[in-house]
């Protein structure tokens, strides 16, 4: 797990200046090593976190002189040992024990078809000497990020948006569609970012850049929804198949030359991970939980549930208690670590948790993805009785933070000239290969919303402390299996039914049948006291008034009575404050 950056010049020799600046911004992602190589019109940079092959032979950028290939890579290929054996049979010789070199040899052997053979999370760039082209790819479910900008002069890429912004060529002009998505989805999705002409490589896609600037893109994987008839497999058959896939995924993610821990919230998903790891023979696991101050009658931690699992499996359990002043003091550094503004209140929880966890281990397993893949959210049941014609609107009604009328009040007219977010959902549902609206919603959430919200959150917050997070519920083989299951086996009994049935064979029932919980951060959610004062300070800055992003009369009304602007996903005042604060902290005028 690392940070990557680079420049491809279309008008002569590449400069190391911008790449070096990007690496400085990415240093926290890879504190164990630094590398920069410039050759002709290409410059690659890498910040290394040593997890597999801890020796110098695994350092990057990695060059294979015999093949004429150079790579920078962020991620982990879990089946690299099996692939290495296959490639050795085909005549390839290896000089390291790394998964990075396996990617190089696989690309030499199979070109853009190599990604179909990888089980893992990855974003990488490979420069080919023979034709002076550069090949990029991103993993199927977008666990690892890759941002880029290109113009007539060149192409620049980095693992995070703030790193990419270190390049003066990258424009900081706000993208109206990206702003609209942020306000509606609480994330900017797909290839879009908050800025015009700055893009993300989409999950399951590759991109090729020639020396003169021609760009080709392709898709190597899409999530297909081929739901089997209920009569083909019994519930017991599905349960057994799911159990086997879960254990296979969890076992794959133990591949490391350093200890692996678990982020244990006390919920079903993380508790199940601990149970499976225990059955796989992992003893004295390092587990980590975080809690916050209570506010009024709202409890700020779920330690009573994580304690059950920690005691049951005799883990080396670490409870981190973040008091109010700790949370407040770390809020700005947390925002600095965000690749794009992240609204969810639990982001500060992940940040503080990652800070503590990084003192003990370099790799953790996390339960992200189970709610999307196995239908754990409240907006799925209403999608079972809608028609294709009103499915997108029903989804928007349940999922969006603001409706269009509200957006026209809070945003400047430039940013709400069209309902970009609803249009995105309509197009997605129309093109989705799923037949039923509920399966379309599950497909959208797994392929898009999950990528640009929870997964980005976990990547950014853990990598802020050089900590690699692995997500077993997003093994692509497991996800493909889940999308063959009838939705009834997911939605029954409040959601995640079949996953809960598997869990009953493994972990204590007390954490299975509990009410669904979230990272509780009540002080931030209520936007009172110090947090309200922070919002007032943010919007008192001249740049906030001059930006012409928000209707400032509406913002002033929110600041005067924040309790009147609560949505189903938390404080709307926090959402607008976070966007403005993120822009200020990253010096966007």
- Distance of alpha carbon 490 from alpha carbon 65, whole angstroms: 51
Tell the residue number behind the tokens 């929804």, with chain if given.
225
- Per-residue model confidence (pLDDT) at position 301: 63
Q: In angstroms, how far is CA 370 from the centroid of its own chain?
A: 14
- Distance of alpha carbon 582 from alpha carbon 589, whole angstroms: 11
Residue 158 pairs in a beta bridge with 5, 147
- Distance of alpha carbon 244 from alpha carbon 29, whole angstroms: 33
- Per-residue model confidence (pLDDT) at position 43: 98
pLDDT digits (tens, 9 = 90+) for 42-84: 999 999 888 887 888 888 999 999 999 999 999 999 999 999 9
**Tokens matching residue 48:** 């290394």
Position 291 confidence tier, pLDDT thresholds 50, 70, 90: confident
- Per-residue model confidence (pLDDT) at position 516: 65
Mean pLDDT estimate for the chain: 92
Give, as one character, the DSSP assignment of residue 13: P
pLDDT at residue 422 is higher than 90: yes
pLDDT at residue 230 is higher than 60: no
Q: Is there a contact between 374 and 503 (Cβ–Cβ < 8 Å)?
A: no
- Per-residue model confidence (pLDDT) at position 567: 80
- Per-residue model confidence (pLDDT) at position 283: 83
- Per-residue model confidence (pLDDT) at position 228: 64
pLDDT at residue 490 is higher than 70: yes
pLDDT at residue 300 is higher than 60: no
Listing DSSP states for 490-521 in one string gives HHGGGS-HHHHHHHHTTS-GGGTSSPP-----
569: exposed, middle or buried (Cβ count in 10 Å: 0-12, 13-18, 19+): middle
Residue 147 pairs in a beta bridge with 158, 200
Residue 183 phi, psi dihedral angles, 5° rounding: -70, -30
The number of helices, as runs of H, and strands, as runs of E, in the chain is 26, 19
pLDDT at residue 517 is higher than 70: no
From the list 297, 300, 301, 276, the residue with the least C-alpha distance to 289 is 301
- As annotated, the residues of the chain forming the CATH 3.40.50.620 domain(s) are 235-290+346-375+413-515
- Per-residue model confidence (pLDDT) at position 548: 93
pLDDT at residue 295 is higher than 80: no
**Per-residue pLDDT averaged across 350-370, rounded?**
92
- Per-residue model confidence (pLDDT) at position 570: 82
Position 324 confidence tier, pLDDT thresholds 50, 70, 90: confident
Classify domain 2-219 by CATH architecture.
4-Layer Sandwich (3.60)
From the list 49, 47, 76, the residue with the least C-alpha distance to 159 is 47
- As annotated, the residues of the chain forming the CATH 3.60.20.10 domain(s) are 2-219
pLDDT digits (tens, 9 = 90+) for 428-464: 999 998 999 999 999 999 999 999 999 999 999 999 9
- Per-residue model confidence (pLDDT) at position 418: 86
pLDDT digits (tens, 9 = 90+) for 95-154: 999 999 999 999 999 999 999 999 999 999 999 999 999 999 999 999 999 999 999 999
pLDDT at residue 335 is higher than 60: yes
- Per-residue model confidence (pLDDT) at position 294: 64
Position 589 confidence tier, pLDDT thresholds 50, 70, 90: confident
**Per-residue pLDDT averaged across 231-236, rounded?**
86
- Distance of alpha carbon 10 from alpha carbon 42, whole angstroms: 9
pLDDT digits (tens, 9 = 90+) for 528-558: 889 999 999 999 999 999 999 999 999 999 9
Give, as one character, the DSSP assignment of residue 446: I
89 in helix, strand or coil?
helix
Kindly give, in sequence order, each residue whose CB lies less than 8 Å from that of residue 321, ignoring residues fewer than 6 positions away. Answer: 290, 291, 292, 301
Q: Is there a contact between 278 and 478 (Cβ–Cβ < 8 Å)?
A: no
Q: Is there a contact between 378 and 485 (Cβ–Cβ < 8 Å)?
A: no
pLDDT digits (tens, 9 = 90+) for 166-209: 999 999 899 999 999 999 999 999 999 999 999 999 999 999 99
- Per-residue model confidence (pLDDT) at position 70: 98
pLDDT at residue 241 is higher than 90: yes
> What's the predicted TM-score (pTM) here?
0.95
CATH class entry, domain 235-290+346-375+413-515? alpha beta
**Per-residue pLDDT averaged across 358-370, rounded?**
92
């Amino acid at each position: 797990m690392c940070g990557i950056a680079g420049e491809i010049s279309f008008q002569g020799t590449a400069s190391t200046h911008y790449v070096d600046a990007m690496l400085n911004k990415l240093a926290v992602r890879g504190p164990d090593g630094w590398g920069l190589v410039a050759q002709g019109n290409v410059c690659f940079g890498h910040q290394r976190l040593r997890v597999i092959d801890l020796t110098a032979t695994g350092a990057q950028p990695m060059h294979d002189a015999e093949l004429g290939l150079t790579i920078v890579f962020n991620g982990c290929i879990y089946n690299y040992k099996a692939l290495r054996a296959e490639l050795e049979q085909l005549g390839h010789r290896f000089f390291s024990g790394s998964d990075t070199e396996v990617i190089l040899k696989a690309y030499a052997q199979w070109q853009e078809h190599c990604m179909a053979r990888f089980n893992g999370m990855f974003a990488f760039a490979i420069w080919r000497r023979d034709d002076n082209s550069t090949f990029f790819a991103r993993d199927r479910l977008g666990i690892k990020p890759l941002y880029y900008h290109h113009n007539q002069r060149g192409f620049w890429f980095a693992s995070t948006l703030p790193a990419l912004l270190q390049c003066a060529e990258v424009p900081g002009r706000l993208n109206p569609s990206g702003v609209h998505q942020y306000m509606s989805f609480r994330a900017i999705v797909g290839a879009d970012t908050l800025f015009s002409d700055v893009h993300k490589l989409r999950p399951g896609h590759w991109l090729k850049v020639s020396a003169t600037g021609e760009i080709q893109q392709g898709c190597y994987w899409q999530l297909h929804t081929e739901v089997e008839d209920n009569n083909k497999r019994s519930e017991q058959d599905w349960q057994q198949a799911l159990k086997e896939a879960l254990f296979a995924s969890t076992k794959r993610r133990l591949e490391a030359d350093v200890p692996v821990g678990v982020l244990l919230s006390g919920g079903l998903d993380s508790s199940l991970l601990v149970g499976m790891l225990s059955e796989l023979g992992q003893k004295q696991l390092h587990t980590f939980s975080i809690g916050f101050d209570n506010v009024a009658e709202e409890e700020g931690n779920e330690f009573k549930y994580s304690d059950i699992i920690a005691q049951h499996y005799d883990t080396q359990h670490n409870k981190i208690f973040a008091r109010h002043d700790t949370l407040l003091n770390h809020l700005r550094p947390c925002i600095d670590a965000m690749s794009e503004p992240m609204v969810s209140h639990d982001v500060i929880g992940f940040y503080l948790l990652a800070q503590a966890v990084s003192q003990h281990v370099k790799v953790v397993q996390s339960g992200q993805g189970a709610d999307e893949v196995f239908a754990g959210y409240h907006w799925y049941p209403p999608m079972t009785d809608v028609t294709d014609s009103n499915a997108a609107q029903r989804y928007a009604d349940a999922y969006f933070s603001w409706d269009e009328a509200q957006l026209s009040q809070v945003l400047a007219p430039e940013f709400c000239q069209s309902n970009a977010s609803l249009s995105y959902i309509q197009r997605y549902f129309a093109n989705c290969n799923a037949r039923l609206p509920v399966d379309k919603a599950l497909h959208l959430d797994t392929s898009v919303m999950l990528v640009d919200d929870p997964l980005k959150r976990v990547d950014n917050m853990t990598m802020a402390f050089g900590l690699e997070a692995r997500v077993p519920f997003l093994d692509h083989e497991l996800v493909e299996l889940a999308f063959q299951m009838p939705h009834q086996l997911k939605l029954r009994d409040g959601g995640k039914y079949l996953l809960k049935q598997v869990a009953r064979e493994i972990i204590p029932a007390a954490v299975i049948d509990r009410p669904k919980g979230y990272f509780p951060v009540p002080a931030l959610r209520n936007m009172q006291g110090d947090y309200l004062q922070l919002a007032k300070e943010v919007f008192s800055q001249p740049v906030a008034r001059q930006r012409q992003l928000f209707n400032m009369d509406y913002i002033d009304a929110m600041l005067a009575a924040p309790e009147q602007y609560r949505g189903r996903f938390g404080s709307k005042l926090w959402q607008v404050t976070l966007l403005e604060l993120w822009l200020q902290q990253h010096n966007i005028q």
